[in-house]
Structures are given as C-alpha cells and as structure tokens.
Structure 1
C-alpha cells in the first residue's frame, strides 16, 4: 500500500512538473510573438513617420517662397523615368532647414543631413544659367548691403530672414513687422563697429529719370555708390526697417494663397494670371534691315493657371504687342 502511494505521488509530481514546463513554453512562445509583433509595428510606425517627414519636406521646399518654378519647357529633370519640372531654391538649404524645424512639431524635426536627403531631385540649387529676372527690388537692395557688410566683417550673416528676426519680437506678429510694436519698433541689428572710416563701395538698384529727345521717363539701373562704413550701416538699417512690412505681406499672401488652394470646394476655383515678357517674332529668312532695325513684330504671352478641387489646368493666350 505504501509503495503504491509513493508511486502515485511520484506520478502526480511528474505530471505537475510537465504541466508547469508546458505552461512556461506557452508563455515564452506568447512573449516571442508579442516581441515580433511589437517590432513589426515599430518598423511600420517608423516607416510611416519617415514617409510623412519626407512628404512634409517636399511640400515645404516646393512652396513659392522657398523655391521658384522654372517656366521653360526644357527646364525638366528625369530620374528613374520620373520627369519633373525644375525648381530653384531661393535660399540656402541651411537657412531653409532652420525655418523648417522652427515651424514643425517635435516629431517631424530633422537633422540637416536628413533634411538634405529628403530634398526632391527636381529642387536644385541655382546654376549660373538660372537667371532670376523677377527679383524684388527691396529685397535685392537689402541683400546687396548685407553681403557687403558681411564681407567687411560687420555682420555674421547675410540672410534677410535672420536679420529681420533679430530686430523684431516675433516675425509672425503683424505689429512687430509693421514696426509699430512698442517693444521692438526702435531695434536695430547689432553689428561690429567699424575700426576705420575708410571709403566703402556698394551697389544699389535705383530709379532715375532719363531724358531723350525732349521726353522724360524713369529708368532702373544698378548704381555704384560709395561712402563711409557708418553711412552704409545707417542706410542698411533704414532699408531693413522699411523691408519688414513688405516681407511680412509677401509671406502672409503666399501662406493664405496656399491655404486657399488646399481648401477649395467643388464650386470654387482659384485663377492665377500673369504675363510673360514680349517675344520677338522671327522669320526663317530675313533681310538685314529687318533683322537689325526696329521693324520686328512682338507678341505677348499671357499665362494662366486654374486651381480647382479636381486638379490644376494651365492656359496661355498670345496677343499682338503694339
């Protein structure tokens, strides 16, 4: 009887050990499945976040205030059979990277290296042949002065956006940029004081009256000016102060126009109309007097882009220029 009890107890203990071992195996298998599932979900989340970041960078760099679209039919780039119209950056990538991180939430912030990696292949730095013939006169004059001041070692940067941010409380605040804010309306850019009052030469776009054959008209020329470093600093601060309002209006209009295009209803449309420069009409065979004289006819191209909820449609009309 005692022997049978001992055998039954041993069998019961063996069964209990087997049950516990089987339970541990089930738990380990479940934990392994959970780890695989967690890793898979983590990879999916990371991949989705990387894709969202890339789309955000592409959308940011393709804004009209960050890059300009080249209008020529030949200005295209093809990569992996994907043909796109070229866009040229209007600011350095380092400056655009700072602007991107300043307006994005934390999870979409990027390092400079990753920001450059996400830059689309059709958004490129300007080449020598990419002439900008529609530059803003106010921005160009301030840019010419800031570059000269940086060259002389009086400024640390020539970026117009950074210089404007240095003299206002908030570059997104209308009162600050209109220079009516009580805290920052008298602020100026902090510069290193010039050691000597040597003569400095700089360039500026100016509007000058020109008289020809008893007829006076206004002409725009890039004029060379000279003066002391203090005079150039005074001119720079005055022009930068006047540029703040114009810069704010430009960015605000671009932002509102972009928001309007993204929120169009089915019965709404946005039409952007502009004109191109006049084109001279040429013949295959021309007499010399016609080619070098003032007899060549010209044509004006009016371009139009219509934005709707269904997509984008482009138009162009040609009219005779008299």
Structure 2
C-alpha cells in the first residue's frame, strides 16, 4: 500500500509541474492551429483516489483469498493424511477379511469333499470305467447315491452352522464324483432294500402314505433312528408305532401289483462227464410281479418294517463307527479293511481265435485292502494267488503277509481292527473266528476286533484297489505286455503300481489248514463300538470256543443234562445229535441278533445237540408238560450244555414236580 500511494503521489506532482510550465510559457506564441492535436486532459485527483480505493479493496480481497487457499491446502493435507491412514486400515481389514474368507472357503471345500467321499453318500465305481485322468493324475470315480439337491439338504442338516447355497455346494463337487449312469448301474443291490422300496413306492403311488422313500417312512415310526432301542423295537415309546396309512374300507380289497425280487428253487438238467443227463435243483433269483389286495400289501409292508429299521440303523451305525475309528486312531492301532476282488482273467496282447474263444485263459485271485494308521496316508495292498479258493483258510493265508508287513513297517502297532463284508463262506464262520482269536496273539498283537458291514452294503476302498490293479493290467496288455498267469501279473504290477503286492501260493493256503488245536475266546455283539478297548456297549456276549473233551465224549441220547437258554437253567435229555452246522438257521438265540442280521464277530457254528427240556415252575422246580409243542426241542451248542446231571428227583408225592440236585443247581446258578 505505501508503494502504491507513493506512485500516485509522484504522478500527481509531475502533472502539477507540467501544468505550471504550460501556463508560464511564451505569451507571444500563437495558439495551435486547427490541424494541431489537443493534449490529453490530466486525470482528476478524485478519480485517482477512487481508483486507489478500488485497488486497495481488490488487494484486500486477494490477500483474503490467499489465506483461504492456504487454509484449504492445509485442510487438504490433513484430509489426505487422515484418508491415507484410514485407507491403510481399511486395506488391512480387507486383507484380514479376505484371508478369513479364503480359510472359510477352504474349510468348507474340505468338509464338502470329506462329505462326498463318505461310503453312504457315494459308492466306488469299480472296473475299467471307474478311472478318470486329469493332468496326468488318476482318480477313482465315485457315484452319487442321491441327487445333489438332496445331498445338499443332508449336508446342511449335519452342519447347521454352515451356510452354503446349492449352487456353491455343486461347484465344490470334485470332478471324480459323478452322477450315476446306466453303464455304472448297481449290480450288487441290496435285496431287502429293493423289495421294501418297491412296496413303499406302490403305497405312495396309491396315495396311502405321503412319502416315497423308505428312510422317510421309517423316520415317521421311530423317535430317533440313530437310537438302537428305537431301531430294534426296544423303545417303550415307539415300539408299537404303526405305518401312517390312511386306507378307504371300500378299496382295501382292490388288487394291486408291485415288483419283488424272489429266490426260487427250480429243477434243471445237468450233463455229466459220461454223457448222461440228470435233473438237479438250483436256486435262482429274478424280479417278479406280485399281486395281492391292498390290505395285504399294507400288512406285508408292516411286517417288513421292523427288520428294515434294524437294517437301516445297522448301515448308518457301522459306517459311522468305522469312520470315527479311522479318525481317532492312535499310534498303536491300525485298521485293516479288506475284501476279495473279482478274479482277474489273464490274457495275451495278441491271441489266436482258438485261444480267445476256447476258454484257455487262467484266472488269478486278488485279495485287496487298505491299511489305516494314525499318521501318514492310507496304504493299499493286495495279495495275488493262482489258487481260486476263497474259503476261510485261504483268507487267512492271504492275510498272513499283511500281518508281517504291519509288524515290520509299524512295529508300535499292538491293536488291530479288521473290517470286511460278511459272507459266511469267506469271513463270517467258525474257522475265521477261531483264527482271529489265536493268530494275531501269536504274531505279537494284544487285541483284535473284526467288524462286518451290513449285508449288501460293504463296498469300499478295497474294491477301488482291485479295480485300479485290473485296469493297470489291461493297459499293459493293450501296450503289448503278455499276462498269461499269476506270476506275470505280479511281476508287471510290481513294476508299475504303488500298491504293496504279496504272493500267496497253494502251499501257503494248505499250511493254514494245519493251524493249532486249541480254540480261544471271543466276544460278540450286534453292532460295532470303539469307545474304549473291550467296552461293554450294546451288551456283548462272551463265547468260549474251547470245548471240554470229556463233556463232548459223554453226551449221548437219553443222558440227562443241564442247559442254559436265555439266561435260565433247564434240565433235559438230548433226543438227537451231535450235528455240525454252517451258520444261519441253527444259531441259538443267545448269539442271534434281532431279525437274524449279523454285523460284528458273526455267528458261532459247530456241533449241536437237540435237547428236550422240562418246563420251569419257578426256581429249582420243573415239570414235564402233558403235551409237547415243536418249540420244546431246541438245538444247543455244546458250550451251552453246562453239565451232565443225574435224573431230577420228584419234590412232591404225586411226582408232578422235579428238582435238580441242590449242589449242581447251586454250582451253575
């Protein structure tokens, strides 16, 4: 401002001096002519002051704007610093959230994979079509047992804390989990399951029930299907539950038709080696169309319901217990899951017509399995043999190298859990039980359990091992390798496969037929449990395979004996025996689970005696009924014949009641 005022003041002084000089110039000078320009009139003082004032005002505004701009710059810097810190914090939070979300997605994907690999959710597709290759890796296909929509509901019901849409659930499905196809159809379906399903679907089709799935129908008749008392009709609340059927009396006699698998015995002609033809009877199973009234169909379904409840419970219980057993293994435990694979048909890479159609191909037995230990990956193994025997002795010959492998590779293992299906010809018989009660202890193990899956529901990892080996063998043949016998199969598979392979000869099998003479002791129960070693869950029964020689030699027809039936003592006399049973119909009630389904430790078979017992009148008092019914004579195993006794003495003068010798009664009571 002083500089501007100074300039204005100097300008004013200069103008004043110029005016004075003009006024004091020569008076004789003539005024300018008409063509001469007139000089500009000087700015007045007033205007100059006004201009000065305007300049001052403008300058003041500029200074004010500069201050505002400085404040804005400072504010922008503060906001930038604040936003930078907030942005950094937000980025850190987003990174943490992204990491948590990734971990959650990874855990969800892992849980879905584990869920889809369960044996009750998917089944292994065996055979040549059961493999899928991606990027050099080989995967074994598994077929879904239900639609992904229904499996998604099952997954959410088992994991209520997880929220995942059906599309995301389907997105996490592995590529080797496939929908079932016709070529992959089930050819080992459960007869009980299929027949009950046919009846349920027919009732649903007729509008008598509101569900078309057997599991849904069973859930309507029990409190809790996972409770063994409800499944085995021992629950006081639901034991008398009936099918929720609404039937019109006017239509109950209408004839309806449904499908059912039926096994029949029919004669057929068999040609002997000498050319003669004989008529023999054989069993065959076929799908037939059954016809009955609507009321009879409802009655049949009602009668089949208790057995099917047990069947359904056993399936889920066995799979769950075995799965949890694998998850909770400790260092000194091992699970051995094994099964016979379908025999491999040997072949050459190039064959002449006579060989190809002449039936000159040999077969090889493959006994496959998987070892599960507490640490590390499961180990697949297989035994190869030219012997086609699949009986109990052959089975233990195939298991012998597995015992040796466990002792050498896992020396800390002391407890072995065997898992298999339950055919009586291979696993579930007296020879296997005897060997299971002796051989593992000879090998140095402290305990062994044998767990059988439910009938017709035993597909598992061993079937996948067998399919992979046979697929590999067929690929080798396709590339020019000849596999004419068991030796060639073992040699070629050993070089190409990571499966642990063992050789079993005919001599090895025959050696096991000469194993020891003294049986051991086993405990049996209806279903599996692994809460602790030798637990008492589900009421196990102890069976001593050791039999007294003197008792065996002295039991005869007409000799008085004391037997134990359903926990009670009865005197009686053998009317027939001994006989040798092969399991099934002759098994006493002491060892038979409800509905005749065997799951764990199987049936005990051996010599039996038919004993005609007296009726109990309470305590040590018995009488002979006036009339006999067929149920009075029961076949007893020798271990249930407790003692040889003298003839019971009458306790009354009328000789209507009798008693066993007091010392014998006290001894066994």
Q: TM-score range by the shorter chain?
A: 0.7 to 0.9
1:148 pairs with 2:202: yes
For residue 190 of structure 1, give the secondary structure of its aligned residue in structure 2: coil
For residue 271 of structure 1, give the secondary structure of its aligned residue in structure 2: strand
Residue from 93, 104, 126 that aligns with 2:159: 104
1:68 pairs with 2:134: no
What residue in structure 2 maps to residue 120 of structure 1?
174
Higher fraction of helix:
1
Cα distance change of structure 1 residues 163 and 119 upon mapping to structure 2, 3 Å threshold: farther
Measure the CA separation in 1 of the matches of 2:150 and 2:233: 24
Residue from 311, 316, 319 that aligns with 1:254: 319
Measure the CA separation in 2 of the matches of 1:80 and 1:155: 50
Alignment of 1:6-17 (within 5 A): none
Quote the offset at 1:69 in angstroms: 0.9
Measure the CA separation in 2 of the matches of 1:188 and 1:117: 41
For residue 277 of structure 1, give the secondary structure of its aligned residue in structure 2: strand
Quote the offset at 1:62 in angstroms: 0.8
Measure the CA separation in 2 of the matches of 1:204 and 1:275: 29
Cα distance change of structure 1 residues 232 and 51 upon mapping to structure 2, 3 Å threshold: same
Measure the CA separation in 2 of the matches of 1:191 and 1:30: 70
TM-superposition CA deviations, 1:220-264 (whole Å, max 9, x none): 333321112232222223223311112111111111211222233
Cα distance change of structure 1 residues 188 and 38 upon mapping to structure 2, 3 Å threshold: farther
**Matched pairs, number:** 308
Which 5+ residue runs of structure 2 have no aligned equivalent?
1-69, 269-277, 390-669
- Once structures 1 and 2 are overlaid, which stretch shifts more, 204-213 or 255-264? 204-213
Residue from 377, 389, 410 that aligns with 1:311: 377
Cα distance change of structure 1 residues 97 and 188 upon mapping to structure 2, 3 Å threshold: farther
Give the alignment's Cα RMSD to 1 decimal.
Answer: 3.4
Quote the offset at 1:279 in angstroms: 5.1
Quote the offset at 1:157 in angstroms: 3.5
1:201 pairs with 2:267: no
TM-superposition CA deviations, 1:27-84 (whole Å, max 9, x none): 4443333222222222222222122111111110110111111122442223455531
Measure the CA separation in 2 of the matches of 1:119 and 1:128: 21
For residue 183 of structure 1, give the secondary structure of its aligned residue in structure 2: coil
Which 5+ residue runs of structure 1 have no aligned equivalent?
1-14
What residue in structure 2 maps to residue 164 of structure 1?
218
Cα distance change of structure 1 residues 158 and 270 upon mapping to structure 2, 3 Å threshold: same
Measure the CA separation in 1 of the matches of 2:134 and 2:314: 37
TM-superposition CA deviations, 1:4-41 (whole Å, max 9, x none): xxxxxxxxxxx999999876655444333322222222
For residue 326 of structure 2, give the secondary structure of its aligned residue in structure 1: helix
Measure the CA separation in 2 of the matches of 1:277 and 1:146: 33
Larger Rg: 2
Structure 2 length as normaliser, TM-score? 0.41
Cα distance change of structure 1 residues 247 and 285 upon mapping to structure 2, 3 Å threshold: same
1:180 pairs with 2:234: yes
Measure the CA separation in 2 of the matches of 1:55 and 1:158: 32
For residue 167 of structure 1, give the secondary structure of its aligned residue in structure 2: coil
- Once structures 1 and 2 are overlaid, which stretch shifts more, 213-222 or 168-177? 213-222
Quote the offset at 1:139 in angstroms: 1.3
Quote the offset at 1:86 in angstroms: 0.6
What residue in structure 2 maps to residue 49 of structure 1?
104
Residue from 300, 303, 317 that aligns with 1:235: 300
Measure the CA separation in 1 of the matches of 2:377 and 2:323: 14
Measure the CA separation in 1 of the matches of 2:231 and 2:255: 32
Cα distance change of structure 1 residues 128 and 227 upon mapping to structure 2, 3 Å threshold: same
What residue in structure 2 maps to residue 10 of structure 1?
none
Residue from 65, 70, 95 that aligns with 2:150: 95
CA contact (8 A) 1:301 1:319 kept: no
